Amino acid sequence: MNFISKTTTFGDIFKSSYTDNITSFSVVDTMIALALAFAIGIFIYFVYKKTFNGVMYSSSFGVSLIAMTLITTFVILAVTSNVVLSLGMVGALSIVRFRAAIKEPLDITFLFWSIAVGIVIGAGMLPLAVIGSILIGVILILFVNKKTSDNPYILVMKCENDGAEKHALDQVKNAVKKHVVKSKTVSANGIELTLEVRLKEMTSEFVNELTKITGVESAVLVSYNGDYLS
C-alpha cells in the first residue's frame, strides 16, 4: 500500500484563510452600509439634540452616537462574514467595561438605538434600519417634547414656629392642586419645609402671599424633573 504524503506549510494555511477573506470582501457593499449608518447616525444625533431636556447638553455624547452607529456596523459586517471571527469578537467584547455614568434615563434609549441600527445595517437589512429609525425618531420627538400643564415644582419654606408652619400649609393646600411634604428640618433657627406641589393653571402668585404670612421668613419655588405624585 502506497501512502501519499502532502506537506502543508504555514504559508499555505495563512494564504488559504487570509486571502479568501480578502477576495470575499465587497468594498461597494461596505461603503453603502457605512454611508447609510453615517446618515442614520446624523439623524439620531439631531433627534437627541431636539428632544434633550436635561440640565446640561453634551455635544460629545451626540457625536458618540454617530460613532457608535458606524463602529457597530463595521463590526457586524466583519462578524457576519466569518464564523470564527464572530466567536473571537464575542470574547473580546466581553472584557470591555464602560465607566461613563448615564445622567439621563433617555440617553440609554439613544445608545441602544445606535447599536441596534448598526446591527441591522451590518446584517444587510437596510430598509428595516431606515423605516425603524424614522418611526422611532418621530415617536421620540412627539412624546418627549409633549408639553404638560401638570408640571411638578419644589416649594421650600422657612418658618419661625409651628403656628406659621400650619398657616402656610393651609394656604398652600388651598392654592395648589396637589402637595406632598418631602422633608422637614427643625432647628434652633426655625423650621424648613420642602414640598412637591402641582400648580393650578400654572400660576405662582400664591408664593408672594406666603411671604406675607407672619412667621414665614422665605418661600422659594423651583421647577424640576420628577414624577413622585400618582
pLDDT of residue 129: 92
pLDDT of residue 190: 87
Compute the distance between CA of residue 34 and CA of residue 82 in angstroms, rounded to an integer. 19
pLDDT of residue 227: 43
pLDDT above 90 (res 202): no
pLDDT above 80 (res 97): no
Alpha-carbon Rg for the chain, nearest whole angstrom, is 30
pTM of the complete model beyond 0.85: no
Q: What is the 3-state secondary structure (H, E, C) of the chain?
A: CCCCCCCCCHHHHHHHHHHHHHHHCCHHHHHHHHHHHHHHHHHHHHHHHHHCCCCCCCHHHHHHHHHHHHHHHHHHHHHHHCHHHHHHHHHHHCCCCCCCCCCCHHHHHHHHHHHHHHHHHHCCCHHHHHHHHHHHHHHHHHHHCCCCCCCEEEEEEEECCHHHHHHHHHHHHHHEEEEEEEEEEEECCEEEEEEEEEECCCCCHHHHHHCCCCCEEEEEEEECCCCCCC
> Per-residue pLDDT averaged across 189-211, rounded?
82
pLDDT of residue 24: 61
Residues of the chain with CATH 3.30.70.260: 152-223
pLDDT tens, position by position, 62-79 = 898 999 999 888 888 877
Average pLDDT, the chain: 78
The most confident of the ranges 51-55, 98-102, 171-175, 199-203 is: 171-175
Q: Is 111 exposed, middle or buried (0-12, 13-18, 19+ CB in 10 A)?
A: middle
Tell me which CATH homologous superfamily contains domain 152-223: ACT domain (3.30.70.260)
pLDDT band of residue 138 (cuts 50, 70, 90) is: very high
Record the cell numbers describing residue 31, joined without a space: 461603503
pLDDT above 70 (res 181): yes
pLDDT above 80 (res 110): yes
End-to-end CA distance of the chain: 88
pLDDT of residue 137: 92
> Per-residue pLDDT averaged across 188-213, rounded?
83
pLDDT band of residue 58 (cuts 50, 70, 90) is: confident
pLDDT of residue 40: 95
Query: Is the Cα dihedral 196, 202, 208, 209 positive or negative?
Result: negative
pLDDT of residue 230: 37
